[in-house]
Amino acid sequence: MENNKLKKKLIIKTVMTVETGMHIGGSSDNVEIGGIDNPVIKIGTQNGKPLVPGSSLKGKIRSLLEQMAGVSEAGGGTKKNGQSWEYKDKPEKLQKIINLFGYSGDKKISKIIVRDSEMLPESLKLLEDSSDFLDMPYTENKYENTIDRVTGVTTGGGIRQTERVPAGVKFNVEFVINVWDEDGDGENLKNLLKEGIKALELDYLGGSGSRGYGKVSFDWKGIENPKEKDMQNLINNEA
C-alpha cells in the first residue's frame, strides 16, 4: 500500500497469574556444589527477583498460533521444491500471523512489542512473607528424578533440582500493537493476539509444561480494553 504509515498504538496492560509453578530458565554457568541445577531467569540488579522475558511470552504465543494454522516452522518453512515461500503465497492464516509478528525471511517487521514482565508488589510481599516456606528468596525448588522405564527405579545421578516461580504469583504484562494504515482500526491484530493468549491459557509458559509446570491465566479486562495512542498527533505535537 502506498503511503502506508504507522497510525496508532494499541497499549494492552494486563496481569498474568502463575497457576502452577513456572520455570523460565536462566544461566547455570556458575552453579556451585550443592547449588540448584536449573535456575530461573532473574533481574540481576534487583536482588534476584524473577521476571518473564518478553521474548518468552511473544515466542510462545506465536508458536501456538502457527501450530493452530497448521505450520511447524516459523514463517511456514519452505515449499516442496525447496524454494523459499513468497509472502503472497502463504496460507491466509499464516499471513495474518506474519503481519502481526513479522518474519525476517519476508522482510516483514514485527507489529507487536511484548515488554519484559515484573512481579506485582503484592506478589513480592507475599513471597517475602512466605520466606520460611520457600527454598530461595522469591522461588521454590522442585526435586525430580530420572526413572528407568524398564526397571521403574531412579537411575544413577538422576536427581536434579529445578527452580520455579511459585503458584499464585502475579506479573504485570504489557503488549503494544503498532497499527498501520493497512490494518484499519487494528481490531484484526488485537483479535489475533487474543486468540494466541487464549491458546496459551490452555497450554503452558516456560519449560516442563508436560510435567505440570507453567499454567498461567490472564486478566481479560485489560486485554479487551486497550488504550490508544494516535501517532500522527504525536508527530504534530498534539498528543
pLDDT score of 36: 52
Most confident of 4-18, 26-40, 123-137: 4-18
Give 164-193 pLDDT, tens digit per residue.
888 999 999 999 999 999 999 999 999 999
- 137 occurs within a structural domain: yes
Strand blocks (E) in 53-97: none
Residue 47 banded pLDDT, cuts 50, 70, 90 = low
Residue 24 lies in a domain: yes
Residue matched to cell numbers 521454590: 140
Distance CA 128, CA 117 (A): 19
Mean pLDDT, the chain, as a whole number? 81
Tally the domains of the chain.
1
C-alpha cell at 218: 490472564
Question: What's the confidence (pLDDT) of residue 129?
Answer: 82
Strand residues in the chain grouped as ranges (E) = 6-18, 42-43, 49-52, 112-114, 117-118, 140-144, 160-164, 170-180, 216-218, 227-230
Give residue 69's pLDDT: 84
Most confident of 67-71, 95-99, 150-154, 194-198: 194-198
Provide the domain limits for residue 206: 6-235
Distance (Å, whole) CA 20 – CA 208:
11
State phi, psi for 45 to the nearest 5 degrees.
-90, 0
Residue 189 lies in a domain: yes
Q: Would 142 be classed as within a structural domain? A: yes
Concatenating the DSSP letter of every residue in 114-168 gives: E--EEB-HHHHHHHHHTGGG-SBTTBEEEEE-PBPTTT-SBPTT--EEEEEBPTT
1 domain-assigned: no
Q: What percent of the chain has pLDDT over 70?
A: 72
Task: Give mean pLDDT, residues 126-155.
Answer: 70
